[in-house]
Chains A and B, each alone.
Chain A
Amino acid sequence: MADDKVMIIMTSGPDTPRRCATPFFFASLGAAMEYEVTMFFTIDGTLLLKKGMAETIYPKAGGKPVSGFIQDALDAGVTFLACTASMELHDLQPSDLIDGVKMVGGATMWQLTEDCKTVLTF
């Protein structure tokens, strides 16, 4: 029950701003419910982790930028993993990313999902 592992695979990014708040909100909520929450960023999701990017993306006009949702999730203890293949997709270096993100390969994603009670993909 408590400390069950769950994962959110985040593929949405700056091209679809409306899709960029709820996954982080669900992650923070999961942490509040005492799940062990991991967010695995791939495809365009990894772009949200680029320094300076999330501050410029507003899921709702006049609302909180994605950076706020990201910080809430990090503060709640959510683990952020970025897919190395997606780094290559976007020509990103590890130093381009915000603090608190670990880079892992796709095989790690498969291994982690085996242990997860629930996996959501956005």
Chain B
Amino acid sequence: MANVRGCNLPDDLYYLIEKHVWAKPVGGGVIRVGITAIAAKLSGGKLAALTVKSKAIGQEVKQGKSVATVESSKFVGPVPAPVTGILLRANDKLVNDPNLAVADPYGEGWVAEMQASNWDGEKGSLASGAAGVAAYQAKLEADNISCS
């Protein structure tokens, strides 16, 4: 786990840096998706709701299109899919406790799971490993974002 400008960034995840979302293969072609610590910080740290698009469950969502919506007093915006895939399920725990995504963004606070349509083809478009963390750090520095 790297800590960049006060933001935790696991180095085993795949990041869509511009949109502050992460992807993690969890077996069987299923990709778990969530928001990063930076997204949690930019939202003001206290979410009013994090709502997965229930109508999209069972449908294919293209990379970059919304799988969920984040609401806080500071920010309202989409959670884009880091890769293309069928939206399988939402994390039900976020219904009653959306701030789990802030408290534990990479663990219990995951947002949704997708059956990736083309993981091997699309994972290269995501930032990963030490190079990925370095690229994310560059963005945080350019945008003057820190989590502390």
Contact = CB atoms under 8 A, between A and B. Distances in A.
B65 A33 contact: no
B65 A28 contact: no
A interface, over-half SS: loop
Given A2-B65, A28-B76, A72-B76, A33 B71 contact: no
B77 interface: yes
A28 B75 CA distance: 9
A34 interface: yes
Contacts of A32: 66, 69-70, 76-78
Q: Looking at A32, A33, A72, A76, which has the most chain B CB atoms within 10 Å of its CB?
A: A32
Given A25-B76, A72-B76, A33 B69 contact: yes
Contacts of A76: 76-77
Given A32-B76, A34-B78, A72-B76, A1 B66 contact: no
Contacts of A34: 65-66, 78
A33 B78 CA distance: 7
Contacts of A2: 65
A64 B56 CA distance: 33
A25 to B, nearest CB: 7
Interface string A11-45: 00000000000000100110011100000000000
23 contacts: A1-B55, A1-B56, A2-B65, A28-B76, A28-B77, A29-B71, A29-B76, A32-B66, A32-B69, A32-B70, A32-B76, A32-B77, A32-B78, A33-B53, A33-B66, A33-B69, A33-B78, A34-B66, A34-B78, A64-B73, A72-B76, A76-B76, A76-B77
